[in-house]
Structure 1
Amino acid sequence: MAAERYVYDFDELSDGGRDLLGGKGTGLAEMTQLGIPVPAGFTITTDACRAYMANPGGLPDGLADEVEQHLGVLEEKTGKRFGDPDDPLLVSVRSGAAISMPGMMDTILNVGLNDVSVQGLARATDNERFAQDCYRRLIEMYGETVDGVHNDRFDAERESPADAIERLKGTYRDSTGRDFPQDPREQLRHAIVAVFESWQSPRAQAYRHMYEIPDDLGTAVNIVQMVFGNKGESSGTGVAFTRDPSTGEQGLYGEFLANAQGEDVVAGIRTPEPLANMREKLPRAFEQLLETMRRLEEHYRDMQDIEFTVEDNDLYLLQTRSAKRTAAAAVKAAVDMVDEGLITREEAVARIDPQQLDQLLHPMLDPTAEWEVAAKGLNASPGAASGKVVLDADTAEQRGRAGEKVILVRWETTPDDIHGLIHAAGVLTAHGGMTSHAAVVARGMGKPCVAGCDGLSIDFERKEIAIGGQTLAEGDVLTIDGGTGAVIVGAVPLVPPQVNDDLETILGWGDEHRRLAVRANADTPEDAAKARDFGAEGIGLCRTEHMFMAEDRLPVVREMILADDEHGRRTALDKLLPMQQGDFEGIFEAMAGLPVTIRLLDPPLHEFLPPLEQAKDERMRRRIKQLQEANPMLGTRGCRLGLQWPEVYEMQVRAIVRAARAVEERTGDAPLVEIMHPLVAFEEELRRLRELTVQVAEEEAPNVEYLCGTMIELPRACIRADEIAQHADFFSFGTNDLTQTALGFSRDDAEGKFLTFYLEDGVLERNPFETLDQSGVGELMRIGVERGRTTKPKLKLGICGEHGGEPKSVAFCHELGLDYVSCSPFRVPLARLAAAQAALAEAGSPAYAAAGG
């Protein structure tokens, strides 16, 4: 049996693709095949990483021999020898997972240098400063990545390579208890292990959790011949995008640093120059770069993020990948690429990440408000945010988790700050450019970011920042606008944006393929109008209890609850009836021609009363005690309340029917009314409530048409759906409560207690209240669908829990054969896109693949 192969040269073809070679390795191999200038090198596969993780401590059997063999091939191609004391071959050791994780794993440059060969490199290049700079960088990066010698310990020496090497070696010796390794092969072996280990670093794990990337993919390792951007003024390094990753506009976008190595740009340590400045400094390489960018975008038919180095005026590409981009850029680029003939409409719909669309609905600064810009930086990631200043990632995570809005303010962010970035409302940095770590990660998360703000200084000891002549303490409020780069002291009112034309175009193309209707959960005419603006095709859930909470209604509701008998309750309900009727009329008019599903009163009555300690009236206190339950979520609520106090549901049905009749008489359009009874578990419950509904409707307006149905939110309702369907015109799966009752989780208790541990410890992959538990709750739904339609083949089926706006859950609803999903108004565009992608995937079109390589 042949030994497993772990290493491929860049010019070798592999059937494993990016799953085997990682994104970076695949890009380097494909660029080599295209004849694009790429340094020679080879890739250690993700299989090797997985084998290492299964048995950590040493390289997998056979890997060292393969690396040695391919190192020999690399020496032949370059005409240099690894470890040569006079003109050494140097390599970079770079991570590269199948799914791009910018900055989350490690890179080491200039591997192979030692005390002897650094002198040989100086002689061979006639550039002693360059050689020493390379050795300084190796000791610095190797020390931090392999042995955990923290970079801050090197900051003081950063700008003095001529005499820094001995001090750096001393720091390494003090920290590790041993000398910096002089054997190039020892350096290479430890560097490979360090990159494997970086897959399990806290920052990489946090990033994978954020983007739901599986933990078992592993990373490839790329061993690449060094090309030097730090050789002098005819050399440099940079990052270029084929389109603007913030807006999607075509044009020159990127950054360049003369006489620098690649990590200098993305690390944010030096603020680079705009890419356009390269035209004058390195004109030949610049023209070659423009042509290469054009070729790569045409080849991949997608926006590319390119890393390049220029050595003595010669261009080399170190990486190309599908660019991380904002939602605005994603839709703009997709629409433009259809117009340019690069992709089809179906491909444009399939390649947008539905979750990203939330970004397009990010707040903006209120244009009618007044504010004064204290400083300006680079507009690195669009959107606006106000929040309290915090100066470290741990505090940002702690306060963000507690529900506070915070702005993370740093000199520059590093990958180790990822946990703080996740929980911050926005990011502000003093250093770094448009392609720095902070900018790239913020854009991917859809968080506002202002980078490279020269007017910002930070005093970590005093926990203060100075900006625009003002001093702010940690905890003071700051506002940033990532679209303009503005930084403002204090809070500025924010307003939601409108859906832009490019998004409307994409959603329109998707609607041509979508089978699932998309409705909205809306309780007011204003919410209903907003939902309709976003393309909702009806209301899937109108919660009548929210109407009871209004200031003018609550006293009447409490009067009804406190009543001693049915007569007293009916007296109070007679006062509520015209109020409810007015509410329904407003919603029916806002949704003219579209269905409106109204859920009758669902919560237990104690929710309308004050806490016991706040109740001063003895009658009120007595009633609160009478209504108290040990577990009200499973107590007297929903249809149970409707059967005990039928006069409540009678009033609501009467208000609905009167409102429908009034709107039809006023407008000529008959509302499409759906009356929904909550928390049904037994056939008899719905039989009685349907009888009540029909009787009241007949009394009020025999000509008003309506449907009568139920929420399916209890396991028994799913299992006995065939019986319940006899009395239902529709089912709507209430997946919030169905998840609680199926899993035995109290959401309030779970999310505050053990659920966080379950997610972090890997007991559960996803929060079941955010993404539908398809194998458990989803299986109950499948039973409900099959048995309900066995009784009534044309039974209308929908979902109205929060899962109705989550892409994976929407795809599952499509697969189940539901008729519609319903979600909050601002998630309607997301649900429309997810439903279109589900239909395209079913038809054989490519499913959505997350932009970002």
Structure 2
Amino acid sequence: MKERKHVYFFGGKITEGNATMKELLGGKGANLAEMSLLEIPVPPGFTITTEVCNDFYKQGKENTIKLLEKEVKEAIEKTENIVGDSKFGDNTNPLLVSVRSGARASMPGMMDTILNLGMNEDTVKAIINRSGNARLAWDSYRRFIQMYGDVVMGLNPIEKDDEDIFEEIIGQLKEEKGIKMDSEFTTDDLKELTVRFKKTIKDKTGQDFPSDPWTQLWNAIMAVFESWMNDRAIFYRKLNNIPEEWGTAVNVQAMVFGNMNDNSGSGVAFTRDSATGENVFNGEYLINAQGEDVVAGIRTPQQITKKGSQDWAALQGISEEDRKTNGPSLEELMPEVFRQLNAFQKKLELHYKDMQDLEFTIQDGKLWLLQTRNGKRTGTAAVKIAVDMLKEGLITEKEAMLRVEPQRIDELLHPVFNPQALKKAKVIAKGLPASPGASSGQIIFFADDAEHIVKEHAGRKLILVRIETSAEDLKGMAVAEGILTARGGMTSHAAVVARGMGKCCVSGVADLRINYKMRTVTANGKTYREGDWISLNGSTGEVYEGQVETKPAEMSKDFASLMELTNKYARLDVRANADTPHDAKVARDFGAVGIGLCRTEHMFFEGDKIIAMREMILAENTEERKKALAKLLPLQQKDFEGIFTVMNGLPVTIRLLDPPLHEFLPRDIKGIEEMVEAMHISESRIKQKINALHEMNPMLGHRGCRLANTYPEIAEMQTRAILQAAIKLKKEGIDTHPEIMVPLTSSIMEMKYQENVIRSTAQKVFTEMGDTIKYEIGSMIEVPRAAITADKIAESAEFFSVGTNDLTQMTYGFSRDDIGKFLPIYLDSGILGVDPFQVIDREGVGELIKMAVSKGRLTRPSLSVGICGEHGGEPSSIEFCHIIGLNYVSCSPYRVPIARLAAAQAAIRFEN
């Protein structure tokens, strides 16, 4: 049996991997190998596979080192041979390396990186002797100690009110020296920082900073594997559905130095605009800096293109003269380097046929690429890039649809600021439009506070305000409406992660003064406290005081083009859950081809309807009940007329009354008093009825078809309202397709009883009105027994609609209302992989659905089957519905575009 390979080399002609090996080498490692094969200048190095990450968690650190030792030493020798005259661990001409993570799915900032590894007091002297650049040597050493101390030795930030330990030391020395920028440190200052860093490490850990390069390397490799299971990586994986078993690769690469001199630098670039999707090369760089400086937001970077630099200066209110002096673009400052970078970005986008996110370093005028990956982008950008690349002939129609994650469509549907309201809004600051969108919320300064507040008070809207964000802020960013930072550019952590999450973000607002201890932020001379409202315009970079009114988003032509393509490929129809003409119109405008669930009980809570409904509930006999229902009939008919009119020509599935009657009665004293006054009956009688209707377990009680079989006059009234509305509209030229659905059936006899009530009522209506209308009767499948006996139920039902919410409740024995008490623990501990109320449980609930479909169609081959729970708008659940051969899914109106795209993608992925 061939021995498993653990280490793959990249660099020049002896590169061992390629872009197809992401599962094994991770995204970064596979792309480094691919760039090497494309003859793009990449510093040589090697990738330790994702499989070793899983080995590490099974067998521990020491055994993993033994597993890797031989291959890693061979790969280091190969790196030395390509670099030429330097050796790892040598005290006269040392090879320094970077150690970076690289999962197969991009996880920006979630795991750990260490640069300049291999340095000690001797190598510092060697670098000075060979380069003559003492500042480079000491700057690289202090950076290495800082990263290694944090990542490997565990010196993370102290209290939430304080900065990172090392940044605090840097700040103290800046204050002592009267300087503001890291680049202003002298060589002696940098040497002093290393002394203070080492002392802090010794004081905090009781250990000396290691000087042996091999010890440093092994510890760093293991630390990167350990970072796969840090809190922020775990949270990010859950947020983006990345499996834990994938693991991370580790990339060890020869260092190149962007901090060598003023002819050096580092940057990040995008082949297209990751916020808008425009086909514009853009990015940021810093002179005399290493790559982490750009994304950390410690210094505000400069733009790589001249136009980008001019646009940035205009946003910041900087004159052209000052821009040229203080912030020239890379295109202007290093035209030859820019020319090479521009050529490489075109080559890479053409090769990968997708927007690329590049990291680069310039070492004394020579350009090196350190990474390329498919860039994170907003929903708007994803749609535009996909449609543009289709038009450009780079990708096919199918590829264009697969390029857009269905959930990202949701971002395009979010409200935007009302232009009229913006005219009156007070602008208090302006920064960079890092991630588009409109958001209003209360100021919050700490991510863990934001997470706690939203958990305790669902619906609270917060704006996370930070000097700059880091990976530790991820949970707070996830629950915030928007992110505002004082530092950082368009490629900072805040900007990149916000775009990946679809969150509004304004970054680099230099005029903000944030005081974490006082929990205040000062802008334009005014101080705002935690809890004050502000609004962010992520499309312009403007920050407004208070809440600004919003309006519905307008769909772009690119969005319309993408939706047209879904019609061409999707096999599943997409309907909507809608109970009002307004919701029905929204759904139809978004492309729904019918209503899959109209919940009639929602109609009874408006105005006079609730009074008539309560009269019906309080009735002592059938005659009194019919009298109350007679009052409801014209009101309900009018509702159906409105919905049928909007859905002219399309099917409308109407569920007969489902909830138990007690839900229509008041639950508090005030509500009872209002009912007494409106209906002129005694309080005691109301309380008596409430007590009589009380059920120990309403989910299993007197509701659904059980209610209509007990009181058939309810089903009679609703059937009459539906069919009278349809016949009336037929005479007005409106084409109606009513589908009457019986809820909560568990046996054929329940279904037959309801079918008899509906058909006999229909015949009476047709006779009275002198006309007929085609209609269908179907069953809701939401009880396990209904799925098991679906062949019997299909004898009576002409269609099935699976209520996945209730079917999940009954299959698991979980209450949706109470699951919150244990669901988080189940998800964290791995007892459940996902929330079954969000994603269809294929092994259990899914098997019941498959059974219902196959058994139902054995009896009635033409049986139409759909789902109408919230799962109808969730992409992986839609994929499952496609696989098992359903006819349609039904979801909330605003999720219709998501469902349409997911349905098309499922058809493409499973077309064979």
TM-score, normalised with respect to structure 1: 0.97
3-state SS of 2:434 partner: strand
Match for 1:760 among 815, 828, 831? 828
**Whole-Å separation in 1 of the counterparts to 2:124 and 2:751:** 84
1:63 is matched with: 68
User: Which deviates further from its counterpart, 193-202 or 365-374?
Assistant: 365-374
Aligned positions of 1:81-96 closer than 5 A: 81-96=87-102
Aligned residue in 1 for 2:712: 646
1:346 matched to 2:402: no
Is residue 739 of structure 2 the alignment partner of residue 736 of structure 1?
Answer: no
- Corresponding residue number in structure 2 for 1:4: 4
Counterpart residue number, 1:538 = 594
Query: In structure 1, what residue type is equivalent to 2:414?
Result: H
Structure 1 stretches of 4+ with a deviation exceeding 4 A read none
Structure 2 residue 825 is matched with structure 1 residue 796 = no
Q: C-alpha distance in 1, partners of 2:531/2:722?
A: 49
SS in 1 for 2:464: strand
Q: 2:727 aligns with which of 661, 670, 689?
A: 661
One-letter amino acid of the counterpart of residue 86, structure 1: T
Counterparts of 1:605 and 1:366, CA distance in 2: 42
CA contact (8 A) 2:534 2:543 kept: yes
Corresponding position: 1:722 with 2:791: yes
Q: CA deviation at 1:591?
A: 0.4
- Report SS of the residue matched to 2:245: coil
**What letter corresponds to residue 202 of structure 2 in structure 1?**
R
Calculate the aligned-residue CA RMSD, in Å. 1.3
Residue aligning to 2:441: 387
The correspondence for 1:826, drawn from 894, 903, 911, is: 894
Q: Give 1:252 deviation, angstroms.
A: 2.5
**Structure 1 unaligned residues grouped into runs of 5+:** 845-853
User: Which residue identity lines up with residue 395 of structure 2 in the other structure?
Assistant: I
Taking the aligned partners of 1:529 and 1:586, their CA distance within structure 2 comes to 10
Is residue 2:71 matched to residue 1:42? no
- Within a 5 Å distance, the mapping from 1:553-564 to structure 2 comes to 553-564=609-620
Amino acid at match of 2:136: F
**Whole-Å separation in 1 of the counterparts to 2:3 and 2:285:** 44
Q: Distance in 2 between matches of 1:534 and 1:557?
A: 33
Q: Which residue of 1 aligns with 2:818?
A: 749
Partner of 1:229: 258
Question: Take 1:278 and 1:843, find their aligned partners in 2: how far apart are those partners?
Answer: 47
Which secondary structure does the structure 2 equivalent of 1:240 belong to?
Answer: strand
Q: What's 1:624 paired with?
A: 690
Picking from 772, 780, 785, the partner of 2:848 is 780
Residue type of the partner of 2:735?
Answer: A
Equivalent of 1:407, from 438, 463, 487?
A: 463
Name the SS of the counterpart of 1:116 in structure 2.
helix
Correspondence 1:375 to 2:429: yes
Residue 16 of structure 2 aligns with which residue? 13
Instruction: Render the CA deviation track for 1:701-720: whole Å, top value 9, x for unaligned.
Output: 25111001111000000000
CA distance in 2, matches of 1:155, 1:289: 32
Distance 2:896 2:280 in 1: 32
How do 1:282-301 and structure 2 match up within 5 A? 282-301=334-353
The Cα shift of 1:493 comes to 2.0
Instruction: Please report how far the alpha carbon of residue 3 of structure 1 lies from its aligned counterpart in structure 2 after TM superposition.
Output: 4.2
Report 1:70-149 matches (<5 A).
Answer: 70-78=75-83, 79-149=85-155
Aligned partner of 1:330: which letter?
A: A
**Mapping 1:457-606, distance limit 5 Å:** 457-606=513-662
Give the match for residue 386 of structure 2: 334
**Between 116-125 and 731-740, the greater mean CA deviation after superposition:** 116-125
Looking at structure 1, the residues matched to 554 and 744 of structure 2 have their Cα atoms a distance apart, in angstroms, of 36
Q: Which amino acid aligns with 2:166?
A: F
**8 Å CA contact 1:516, 1:818 repeated in 2:** yes
**For the structure 1 residues 392 and 59, does the alpha-carbon distance in structure 2 shift closer, same or farther, using more than 3 Å as the test?**
farther
2:15, 2:36 within 8 Å by CA — same for their partners in 1? no
- In the other structure, the counterpart of 1:847 is none
Distance in structure 1 (CA, Å) of the matches to 2:876 and 2:703: 31
Letter in 1 for 2:764: E
Q: Tell me if structure 2 keeps the 8 A contact 1:49–1:219.
A: yes
User: Of the candidates 200, 213, 217, which is equivalent to residue 188 of structure 1?
Assistant: 217
> How far is the alpha carbon of 1:681 from its aligned partner?
0.6
* 3-state SS, counterpart of residue 55 of structure 1: helix
Q: Which residue of structure 2 lines up, in the alignment, with residue 272 of structure 1?
A: 301
Q: SS where residue 380 of structure 1 aligns?
A: strand
2:879 to 783, 789, 811: 811
- Out of 10, 27, 47, the position equivalent to 1:23 is 27
Following superposition, the deviation at residue 120 of structure 1 comes to: 1.4
The corresponding residue for 1:150 is: 156
Post-superposition CA distance 1:457-477 (Å, at most 9, x none):
211111112123222221222
Between 707-716 and 383-392, the greater mean CA deviation after superposition: 383-392
Question: Which whole-Å CA distance do the structure 2 matches of 1:545 and 1:495 have between them?
Answer: 29
Deviation at 1:499? 2.6
What secondary structure sits across from 2:78 in the alignment? helix
Question: For residues 499 and 644 of structure 1, what CA distance do their matches in structure 2 show?
Answer: 48
Further displaced range: 306-315 or 613-622:
613-622
Mapped to 2, the partners of 1:552 and 1:360 lie a distance apart of 38
Look up the SS of the partner of 2:627 in the other structure.
helix
Within the candidate set 393, 414, 417, 2:473 is matched to 417
Q: Alignment identity in percent? A: 52
The number of residues matched between the two structures is 842
CA offset at residue 267 of structure 1?
Answer: 1.4
* CA positional deviation for 1:835: 0.7
- Aligned counterpart, 2:744: 679
Q: Is the 8 A contact 1:229 1:310 kept in 2?
A: yes
Q: Residue 254 of structure 1 aligns to a residue in which SS?
A: strand
1:266-285: CA deviation from partner (whole Å, max 9, x where unpaired): 11221111122001111111
Alpha-carbon distance between aligned partners in 1 of 2:893 and 2:419, rounded to the nearest angstrom = 23
- Does residue 840 of the first structure (1) align with residue 908 of the second (2)? yes
Q: Is the 8 A contact 2:17 2:34 kept in 1?
A: no
1:849: which partner in 2? Answer: none
Which residue does 1:449 correspond to in 2?
A: 505
The structural deviation recorded for 1:88 is: 1.4
> Aligned partners of 1:180 and 1:495: how far apart in 2?
57
Q: Residue 321 of structure 2 corresponds to which residue in structure 1?
A: none
What does the per-residue CA deviation read over 1:234-267, in whole Å, with 9 as the maximum and x for residues that have no partner? 1110000000001110112111111100001111
Measure the CA separation in 2 of the matches of 1:456 and 1:443: 22
Structure 1 residue 162 displacement after superposition: 4.0
Aligned residue for 1:540, secondary structure, equals strand
SS of corresponding position for 2:276: coil
The whole-number CA distance in structure 2 between the counterparts of 1:770 and 1:363 is 24
Question: Does the CA contact (< 8 Å) of 2:433 and 2:538 recur in 1?
Answer: yes
**TM (normalized to structure 2)?**
0.91
- Identify the range of structure 1 (2-11 vs 691-700) with the bigger mean alpha-carbon deviation: 2-11
* 1:257 match: 286
Contact 1:736 1:801 in 2 (8 A): yes
Whole-angstrom distance in 1 between the partners of 2:626 and 2:713: 7
The whole-number CA distance in structure 2 between the counterparts of 1:49 and 1:817 is: 39
Distance verdict in 2 for CA 1:2–1:657, change over 3 Å: closer
Alignment-mate amino acid for residue 731 of structure 2: E
Q: What are the within-5 Å matches in structure 2 for residues 298-337 of structure 1?
A: 298-337=350-389
| Structure 2 segments unaligned to the other structure (5+ residues) | 158-163, 171-181, 306-328, 674-682
**Structure-1 separation of matches of 2:813 and 2:27:** 41
* Contact kept in structure 2, 1:612 and 1:624, CA below 8 Å: no
Greater relative CO (CA pairs within 8 A, separation 6+): 1
- Structure 2 distance, partners of 1:718, 1:4, is 47
Matches of 1:843 and 1:510, distance apart in 2: 14
Deviation of residue 441 (structure 1)? Answer: 1.1
C-alpha distance in 2 between matches for 1:243 and 1:46: 30
Name the CA distance, whole Å, in 1 between partners of 2:239 and 2:278.
27
Q: 1:211 aligns with which of 225, 240, 243?
A: 240
Cα deviation, residue 624, structure 1: 0.6
Give distance in 2, aligned partners of 1:484 and 1:612: 48
In the alignment, the residues of structure 1 paired with residue 625 and residue 119 of structure 2 have an alpha-carbon distance, to the nearest angstrom, of: 87
